[in-house]
A = this chain, B = another copy of it.
Amino acid sequence: MSDARPRRIAALVECLGSAHLDGLLLTSLSNIRYLTGFSGSNALLVVTPRDVTLITDFRYQTQVADEVGNIARVVVEPASLWTGLWRHLAALPNMQVVGFETSHIQHRDFQRLVEAGARWQWRPTADLVELLRERKDAGEIDRIRDAAGVATRALERTVAEIRVGLTELQVAGVLEKALRDEGSEGFPFPSIVASGPRSALPHARSSTREIEPGDFLLMDFGAEVGGYCSDVTRTVVVGRADDEHREVYEVVKVANERAAKGVRAGMSGRDADAIARQYIDRAGYGELFGHSLGHGIGLEVHESPRLAKTSEAMLAEGAVVTIEPGVYRPGWGGVRIEDDVVLDANGSQLLTHFPRELIELG
């Protein structure tokens, strides 16, 4: 596979030109990984039209050489990365106006820029790399597809083991072990396993609650492969579903199907959200769908774009997004069904292949 990094860096350098910046300091580790391949937890990156330099610490000496190769000059700092930064910037010719990432630098570190780095003019920038990341290339889509496969296979294995009396935490344990056995490098976010009334909390964490007969069991989790994330939710009934279970489930299932089928590049995030929202509204459950339809996934599990009522921006070709409508009735329970799709101008392609039909267990 061809190396995508030179193209990414060239695209960023073009943005710098338009923004009248002599260079850009990157502090987002995801953005740094996207541009250079470095996956460590401590780094600064400086990009100028003629130079790309990554500064990290001694713990990553071996790893950084393997991952970064010739795409960037590497400086390994014994003490503080900031010391290395000032020395590096001072050695670069014609550096006056330097951008920094306003959403990825703490105020404390911003103070370093304006104090120790007072000889440069610092300009806040937002989303320069994030917008490049929105449009995934074939290699990125392959990795997200792999992460989606890991997640759905792990879910198949987990569903076979769910039974009344297990706690939510025990189910999380089964699921997370299956994710590891299938090769997940990590957990993109804390797995949500929520049963019975707790399934009505969109941001539940897994608890010691024991599963009871007739419970909804909602599982929202992801896998990571090659640094890229998947994000999947399924809701099952443990025992027999009653009419109310079936009715709510069917509304969410059809909303998911319609949105996954109808979303495409060129549409606004708001219009994508509306596909599911209008269907749920008309079914009479609009008040119980309190969150937005979805979000981009990639190196991070929440990234651009947003599929939400307030999002006017046009969805890019190559964006990978979640489709996750839900209906939550407080005190009773909730259903969310979430898939991952990649967008093109004609429509979308499903990356998560797990049946949407209602599953009754045991």
Q: Which A residues are closer than 8 A to B by beta carbons?
A: 39-41, 58-60, 62-63, 100, 102-108, 110-111, 124, 126, 169-170, 172-174, 176-181, 183-187, 190, 201-203, 205-208, 290-291, 330
Contacts and interface: CB of A to CB of B under 8 A. Distances in A.
A208 B181 CA distance: 10
Nearest to A113: B107
A203 B41 contact: yes
Contacts of A110: 107, 110
A180 B190 contact: no
A136 to B, nearest CB: 23
A224 B339 CA distance: 30
A170 B179 CA distance: 9
Contacts of A124: 107-108, 111
A200 to B, nearest CB: 9
21 contacts: A40-B203, A41-B203, A59-B202, A102-B106, A103-B107, A103-B108, A104-B106, A106-B106, A107-B107, A108-B124, A111-B124, A169-B181, A169-B184, A169-B185, A170-B180, A173-B177, A173-B178, A180-B206, A185-B206, A185-B207, A187-B187
A185 B39 CA distance: 26
Given A41-B203, A102-B111, 12 more contacts: A40-B203, A59-B203, A59-B291, A100-B107, A107-B107, A169-B181, A169-B183, A170-B181, A173-B176, A173-B180, A185-B205, A185-B206
A142 B103 CA distance: 37
Most chain-B Cβ atoms within 10 A of its Cβ — which of A105, A108, A172, A180?
A180
A98 to B, nearest CB: 14
A277 to B, nearest CB: 16
A127 to B, nearest CB: 11
A172 B63 CA distance: 21
Contacts of A208: 183
Contacts of A291: 59
A59 B170 contact: no
Nearest to A126: B108
A59 B326 CA distance: 13
A110 B109 CA distance: 12
A58 B201 CA distance: 11
Nearest to A63: B201
A60 B203 contact: yes
Contacts of A178: 173
A186 B207 CA distance: 10
A39 B190 CA distance: 14
Nearest to A204: B63
Contacts of A103: 106-108
Contacts of A290: 58-59
A202 B63 CA distance: 11
Most chain-B Cβ atoms within 10 A of its Cβ — which of A60, A170, A173?
A173
Contacts of A58: 290
A162 to B, nearest CB: 14
A161 B202 CA distance: 36
Nearest to A207: B185
Across the A-B interface, the 8 shortest Cβ-Cβ residue pairs: A173-B180, A177-B177, A173-B177, A102-B108, A107-B110, A102-B107, A103-B108, A169-B180
